[in-house]
Amino acid sequence: MTTTAMNTVLTSMPNLKVRRIGVLTGGGDCPGLNAVIRAITKTAIYQHNVRVFGIEDGYLGLIEGRVGELSSMHVSGILTRGGTILGSNNKVSPTHYFTGYDENNQPRIENRTNDCLRTVEEHQLDALVVVGGDGTMTCTAPLIEAGVPCVGVPKTIDNDIVGTDITFGFITASDTATRCLDRLHSTAASHHRVMVCEIMGRNAGWLALHSGIASGADVILIPEIPFEIDAICDFVLSRQSHGRGFSIVACAEGARPAGGQQIVATRDETSPEPVRLGGIGEHVATLIKERAKIETRFNVLGHIVRGGDPVPRDRVLASLFGHRAMDMLMAGHVNQIVVMRDGKLGAAGILNVANKQRTVPMDEPLLDVARSVRTCLGDRSTY
Ligand code: F6P
């Protein structure tokens, strides 16, 4: 969609009649998705007399026409459960559908927007509620352009959606990462080792920063502050010389050395977003071992932080977001995403937050908090 088209997207449709809606969960899953599905479904049925249709596996189900009606019974008992009863997918978009490999072994990709529109028409869906991150919001563009009203709900453990201070799933993921770092702490202390722990978050350091601060990590490496390995080694050696023989390094998967690149674990060319980060934790551990000559181990938390049941605050946030999405839809406020700013619910244009990432700004107060308790941020700025 062109910038001009984006700017002219209709965001208010006061005469929109909503009788049937479709709900999908797109992108990587996260704790709290079921709480949102429940809030949307129950609010739609009980408060607005609207029928709800669950779309399986994100946009894949929309393309393939895999849709089923949700009753209040379907969503009963799911509030506290991790994952998503609808299934999710982070490898497909309406304009990017992988159908196999061609004779040169290159992925064959097709635009299946028309299939999505056919599914919407067949099930007589008046609007879609899309629950996802920036990729999922980007996928709404061809649908909005074709006149399908959409409302977005911001989810991701990465907390990197532009326009909102918080996404649901992040609180649970940082809680899980914190507890893992706590566990590494005791074993690192017993063995006088450095423990490097790689934590998801894509190009944003929110997860590593929050869990690093919450667990009292000695070093926190985030993509927004390129690290100098010598600064890290000097720091752990200085801790050693002051009687602290161990150090914990919370390392975001997107962290990178000054003047260097992020480490890509795998590329999936069948996916609209082919890069999967990973490997920086092992790399940092190897460098510390070699240069500082301290015994060092690494751990990769990976998908552990994405799984499991949502903590109560995520359940509340997800319920708030789901309820607000239905309110917006019924008021005709479409093609917008629910956001939370300064503790208040609000809305932003879906296409204004699509395809962008909210990274940690250099004036983020938590960076100062970290430095003031003598946490090394991978540079030489610690007080
Ligand atoms: O966006 C959520 C996230 O978990 C990122 O933190 C991570 O980089 C990515 O998804 C992993 O994707 P996949 O589940 O495809 O390995």
Q: List pLDDT tens digits, range 315-341.
A: 999 999 999 999 999 999 999 999 999
- Distance of CA 95 from the midpoint of ligand 1 (Å): 21
- Is 156's C-beta closer than 6 angstroms to any atom of ligand 1? yes
Beta bridge partners of 257: 227
Residue nearest to atom 10 of ligand 1 (CA): 28
Whether residue 154 contacts residue 321, with contact meaning beta carbons closer than 8 Å, is answered with yes
pLDDT one-digit tens code per residue, 362-376 = 999 999 999 999 999
Question: Which tokens hold the place of 65?
Answer: 């026409």
- Is 167's C-beta closer than 6 angstroms to any atom of ligand 1? no
Report the percentage of the chain scoring pLDDT > 90: 94
Weakest-pLDDT range from 4-13, 26-35, 53-62, 171-180: 4-13
pLDDT for res 4: 47
Q: Is 102 a catalytic residue?
A: no
Residue nearest to atom 11 of ligand 1 (CA): 276
pLDDT one-digit tens code per residue, 94-153 = 999 999 999 999 999 999 999 999 999 999 999 999 999 999 999 999 999 999 999 999
- Is 200's C-beta closer than 6 angstroms to any atom of ligand 1? yes
- Is 256's C-beta closer than 6 angstroms to any atom of ligand 1? no
pLDDT for res 42: 98
Marked catalytic residue, from 57, 158, 160, 175:
158
Cross-sheet strand order for the sheet of 247-252? 219-221, 247-252, 194-199, 296-300
- Distance of CA 331 from the midpoint of ligand 1 (Å): 34
SS (H, E, C) 6-21: HHCCCCECCCCCCCEE
Please state the rounded mean pLDDT for residues 310-314.
98
- Distance of CA 48 from the midpoint of ligand 1 (Å): 35
> Which residue segments constitute the domains of the chain, with CATH numbers given?
10-168+308-353 (3.40.50.450), 174-307+362-372 (3.40.50.460)
- Is 28's C-beta closer than 6 angstroms to any atom of ligand 1? yes
- Distance of CA 58 from the midpoint of ligand 1 (Å): 15
Backbone angles phi, psi at 154, to 5 degrees: -80, 115
Residue nearest to atom 16 of ligand 1 (CA): 276
- Is 201's C-beta closer than 6 angstroms to any atom of ligand 1? yes
> Which ligand 1 atom minimizes the distance to the CA of 200?
6
- Is 157's C-beta closer than 6 angstroms to any atom of ligand 1? yes
Weakest-pLDDT range from 11-20, 57-66, 150-159, 313-322: 11-20
- State how far the alpha carbon of 111 is from the alpha carbons of 99, 101, 114, 133, 183, in Å: 10, 15, 8, 21, 47
Q: Which of 248, 240, 238 is closest to 213 using CA atoms?
A: 248
pLDDT one-digit tens code per residue, 264-293 = 999 999 999 999 999 999 999 999 999 999
Q: Is the pLDDT of residue 7 over 80?
A: no
By CB atoms closer than 10 A (0-12, 13-18, 19+), residue 362 is exposed
Residue nearest to atom 14 of ligand 1 (CA): 28
Please indicate, yes or no, whether the overall pTM of this predicted structure exceeds 0.85: yes
b vs e for 159-192, b when ≥16 Cβ sit within 10 Å of the residue's Cβ? bbbbbbebbbbbbbbbbbbbebbeebbeebeeee
Instruction: Annotate 272-307 with DSSP letters as a single string.
Output: SS-EEE--HHHHHHHHHHHHH---EEEEE-GGGGT-
- Is 31's C-beta closer than 6 angstroms to any atom of ligand 1? no
- Distance of CA 135 from the midpoint of ligand 1 (Å): 12
For a ligand 1 pocket test, name from 200, 207, 359 the mutation site with the most ligand atoms within 8 angstroms of its C-beta.
200
Rounded Cα–Cα distance for residues 75 and 160 (Å): 28
Angle (nearest 5°) at CA 299 between 276 and 303: 45
pLDDT for res 382: 78
- Is 271's C-beta closer than 6 angstroms to any atom of ligand 1? no
For a ligand 1 pocket test, name from 306, 355, 357, 358 the mutation site with the most ligand atoms within 8 angstroms of its C-beta.
306
